[in-house]
Every structure is written in C-alpha cells, then in structure tokens.
Amino acid sequence: MTQARSRQSWFSKEGSAFPLGATWLPDEKAYNFALYSKHATRVTLLLFGEDETTAPLVEVEFNHKINKSGRIWHCRLARDEMRGARYYAYSIDGPPGENAYDLHTFDADKILLDPYARQVYFPDSFDREAAKGLGSNMGRAPLGVLFEDDVRFDWGDDSVQFHEHDLVIYEMHVRGFTQNPNSGVAAHRRGTFLGVIDKIPYLQELGVTAVELLPVHQFDPQEENYWGYMTLNFFAPHAQYASQPDNALEEFRMMVKALHAAGIEVLLDVVFNHTAEGDQRGPCYSYKGIDNSTYYITSGDPSNPYKNFSGTGNTLHCKNRYVSRMILDSLRSWIELGHVDGFRFDLASVFNRHFDGSVSLDDSRLVSAIRADPVLGRVRLIAEPWDAAGLYQLGGAFPGKRWFQWNGKFRDDLRRFVKGDQGLVAAVMCRLYGSDDVFPDDLYNACHPYQSVNYVNSHDGYTLYDQVSYNERHNWANGENNRDGHKDNFSWNCGFEGDDGVPTDVIQLRMQQAKNFICLLMLANGTPMFCAGDEFLNTQHGNNNPYCQDNETSWLDWGLLEDNQDFYRFFCRMIAFRKNHPTLSRSRFWRDDVRWHGVGPEIDMSYESRQLAYYLDGATENDADLYVMINAESRDETFVVQQSSLSGWQLMIDTSATGPNDFLDMEQSPKLSSASRVVKGRSVVVLVRPRPS
C-alpha cells in the first residue's frame, strides 16, 4: 500500500474566507486575513512594524486564482513570515466610478483600515487631511492592530441580573462622565473606561440599574466630534477612552465586569447608519477605498453622490447583504468579547432604506436577521425609530416588533404639559399609562409598556436643568451661527433666560419644575431613562447640541452635586420609590387597576385643563396603592381624593415642598386626615397606602 504523504491543507496554503478580519490561529502559529470587496481588481496586504509605519515590512499581493473566494480576498501567513509586524492595512485598486449607482472611489495609493480590525492604531504622524482627495497617506493613516491573545480575559463568574420593573437607564458619555478635574478621579484615569469603574459606588448610591454608553466604537480623534457618532470602525473600542490606548479592549472589559458585579447592565449606543468618512469631501480611511458602492447609498447625482439620510454626509447601505453581515458580526463581537447586555441603535429607521433611498415599510432584512440570531436574540435591543431625513417609525411602524424604542412622544408631551401648555391631559394620561397608542396591546400587536423608553432629556438636546432655564438655544460656540441643534425644545426658562443674575424665586421654581419632570418620569409605566448629570442639575449653559464641545461645556460638573444636594436626594429617592413599587412598571398595561380622576371624580378633558389625578391599585402586584395628583397650572388647586376611606393613606411626595419635606419617609409621613388636598401650582403630590402584611 502507498502511504499517504502529509499535505498542507487548502486553507493553510490559500487562506480562508471565514472569519473576516485578521485572525490568529495558535495551532498553526499563523494569521488568516480575509477582506470583502466585490469590485476590487487588486488587493495588497501591508504589514508594518511597531516602530516604522512609513513603509511596510511585508507586502502580499493577493492572486485572485488562489486568494479569492466569491467576493472575499484572503491569505494565510505564518508568524515567522511577517518579520515581527505589529500593524496591518490594505492597498486596493479597482475600476473607475463611471456608473452613478456603482460609484467607485478606488485609489491604490491610499492605506486602508480593515473594517474588522479589533483595535486601531494611530501613528504620531496620523493626519485626517492626508486621507482626503487622491494620493498616498502612507505613515499618516490609521492601522489595524495584530493580536495573538485578544480573546483571553478572566471573566470569572461574570453575570448580571436582567432587570425588569427596576430597570432604570442612565445615558452616559464615557469621557464626559469623569473628565472634569472635580470628578474626584485620578488624572490618569479621568475620561476613561477605568474612570467609570471609580464611579461605580456613586452609580449604586444613585440607584440606576443600566448604563447606556454613548458610542464607544473607534472614531476619528482628529474630527471635532466629542459625542462619538462618527464611527471609523465598528469592532474596535475607542482607544482614546483607555488609560493605555494599546489596551483599550482589556480596559473596556474590566469596566463591564465591574459594572456587572455592581448589578448594572451595560448597553452600547451604536451607529450603523453612517461612518466617519462623510461625503465626497470627507476622508477615505476604509470603506470608500475598499468598496464604496457596497457600503454607501449613492444618489446618482455627480455633484452630491451620497444620499444623506443621517445628516452627516453619507448613509450606510444596510440593505446590502454584506453590510448587514458586518453589522451582525460587530454586534456578536461586542457580546461575545465584551459581555455587553444590549444596544441602542442610532437612527435605526435607516435600516429600512433601499439602495435608492426608498423605504421598505413591511420589513427590514437587517432587523429580521437580528431578531433571528441566537446570540442577539437574548440581549436588549433599543431603537431610535427615526432618521435625519424625516422617516418617523415610532411604535408599530418600526419592523422590530419586540424592540424597545425611544419614545419621542413621551418626551414632547411631558415637556409641553409641565411647562403649562394646554390641551394635553389626554396625551399625558396615555404617556403615564405606557403609551398604548404607540405600543398597542391588541390581539395582533400584543405590545408591552416596557418597550416605551420614557425620557425627558438625552444627550441630544438640553440637559434637565437647561430645559427649565432657557427658552432659546445658545449654540454659538459650536461655530454654526447658532443654527444647529433642535429649534423646538418645548422648554420654559421659568421667567428668566439663563443663570446670569437669576432671581431666587426663579431658581426655586426651576428646582420645582425639574422635580416635576423626574417625578412623572418615575411614576410612568414603561422604561425610564435620563441623562448623566441631570440628577444634580448639570448644565450646558443652553447649548442643546454640544457634539463638538470636548470641554467644560459637556463634561459633568461634579461641583454641582454638592451645590444641589437637596435635588440629588429627591432624585435618588424617586428612583428608589420606583424600584420599590413594581406596580408602576409592569410587563402589561395597568388596565383595570387604574382609575383616572381630575380635581374631583371626573377628568376635565377641556382644552384649558391642566389637572389630572389617578389611583393605581397595587393588589395584583402585591404592592401598595398609589394616588397621584398633578397640577400643571400656575395657581393652586384643591383636589378631592376619590377614595371611600382615607384609612391608611399617607403623604409621601410633594414637589412644591423644599427638601427634605419634598420626599418623606413612611415613618415620618403624615396620615391623610381630609379628602381635600391643596396642590400647589406646578407641582405633583403622591399619596401611598401600604398593603397590610
């Protein structure tokens, strides 16, 4: 018999088309490189040394007869063939962009970042301008980092409770949270993932159970974009959020593990609707040079070749099968390598745009794929159900039927009602109930109230304090002549614009209005969310769009925590009240457990009405009964509590009172002695009747 000779496998010789990216294979002591490009005619892998990024150590030109499978280019290199390389990139050439909808922007001189790189390195000579226009940016381009141990991390027994009625989301910017010197965080940890760890005791005291982090995907450090909504790479953590930039993934995972140990879920705000490359005037870092017409929705207009449904210059082509695959791979990577608990999808309605920009109203290939994925199906999915071009899909119009959604109606209706606008009693009833007009629980839809992410303020707009302190935006510092940011904020300055010389009575009214907002937010059925710093009345001085303000405008001013201790105490107690009363936040709507009233037995639904009360029976949740009286009118109103017996009822919350009398302990709260209760103008009163044990 002829003895079989040992043969090198096909994959070892040619490389494998799966997985995409640069993958270390310890058994072979080799890297597999795989890159998708439908239209490329030449692909060259470039390997760079740790101390030399101006010229590659190794260049490997792919042979399509050996190193290409379908649309994917690939090769495999043994470590000893790579001359100690630490970084990698690609050079790609292809056909000219003659067809309007196959708009190609290949440039063989450009150094291109792998979309699947798990960490991005920026050389000291990195230059955003060099990536614009034609010509080489060698030595000035971002590069992918080669890892041999990137998946090794001691997670121990990492896990976190899946919060239900006690879910309270805290929207946070990693850098802005601790970058201010008065944060109390050591200088080398300020503005980093590790800085968040240092503040976990504070988060526990506050009582939040989930943090929603503004984008932590790698973005361009030379673009004036503080928020991070201009993604350069969807797999790599932002290196500038690490105390040691070459250790960003490790530090991110340390943060997640520590938050989980504190019982806090970690949600990521992800931006799969556009990239940092902008329009035809923007840089070519990666996607444009790899396969422009795959990644972007183009217009067919040579003067404005990119469709701009994101408001940032380009729109990611999410209907493309490969782009959908990249998004799914990115999400899985953050779950499997980063142990995150869910995602908030920025401008998620872009997922429903076809290649020509038209809208698919019935379904979304990407949303369907996310829904069917066994890994993604077990995490929280939150949509911002609109885009920047007017597509608005709040509620049943969004194809993710079980997704949570940012509820813009809750935000706007509560803002208008609390400021004193008329004709909103019915709308506010609906918002407090869980927004069943948006999330119907009929036979066909069977929605849940918790799908409504209720909020008054977020990063995108005024802070809570500015909401009650400014009538007009003050965005001059952004350099756009005060034209940027939302114009209609439904804000009210309580009679005085800003803080310079503000009268004492205005300050007191602002505090009261801010308490009204947080009180109603925490009393509503649904999932509450608020912005970091709102708990101690952080201010951006009227700037409602500080996307480019990496300075004291956007960094939390921790000095205000001390200045506004009474308000902070009230805020913490409102969070605790919600968590301690599961009757408020239910899987299902309140239905027969709620009875609606006005100042008397009947609701005044007239246009002029600004009063509302409701009784919530807690028996089905084995919880206390609640009676809430809301007076958005400027004058005092006498409410009559609609209960046959006053026995057991106690006053707990009165937003018109000063601390600590605005929120009383049960042991200190007075028994209700009369059915009549004067509710001060612009205030909320909450009565509690504990259930006998």
How far is Cα 675 from Cα 142, in angstroms, rounded to an integer? 69
Give yes or no: 346 in active site. Answer: yes
Which helix (H) or strand (E) element contains residue 274?
A: none
Contact 83, 49 (CB under 8 A): yes
Q: Which residue has the tokens 């206390």?
A: 624
d(CA 365, CA 526): 28
Active site residue 384: yes
3-state SS, residue 631: strand
Residue 95's φ and ψ, nearest 5 degrees, are: -70, 160
With a CB cutoff of 8 Å and minimum separation 6, the contacts of 472 are 497, 542
Q: Which two tokens stand for residue 574?
A: 């409102």
Catalytic residue among 346, 413, 436, 550: 346
Please give the sequence-ordered ranges of beta strands (E in DSSP) within 331-469, or none if there are none: 342-345, 380-383, 404-406, 452-454
Name the burial class of residue 574, with classes exposed (0-12), middle (13-18) and buried (19+) by CB atoms within 10 angstroms of its CB: buried
Alpha helices in 420-470 (DSSP H): 425-433, 464-467
DSSP secondary structure letters along 466-484: HHTT-SS---GGGTSTT--
Sequence-ordered list of residues with C-beta below 8 angstroms from that of 427, at least 6 positions apart, any chain? 409, 413, 417
Catalytic residue among 384, 535, 550, 625: 384
Distance of alpha carbon 376 from alpha carbon 373, whole angstroms: 5
CB 196 within 8 A of CB 568: no
Q: Is residue 26 reached through a cis peptide bond, with omega within 30 degrees of 0 on the bond before it?
A: no
| Cα–Cα dist 688/693, whole Å | 15
Angle at 521 between CA 198 and CA 642, to 5 degrees: 140
Burial level of 80, CB count in 10 A (0-12/13-18/19+)? exposed
Residues involved in catalysis: 346, 384
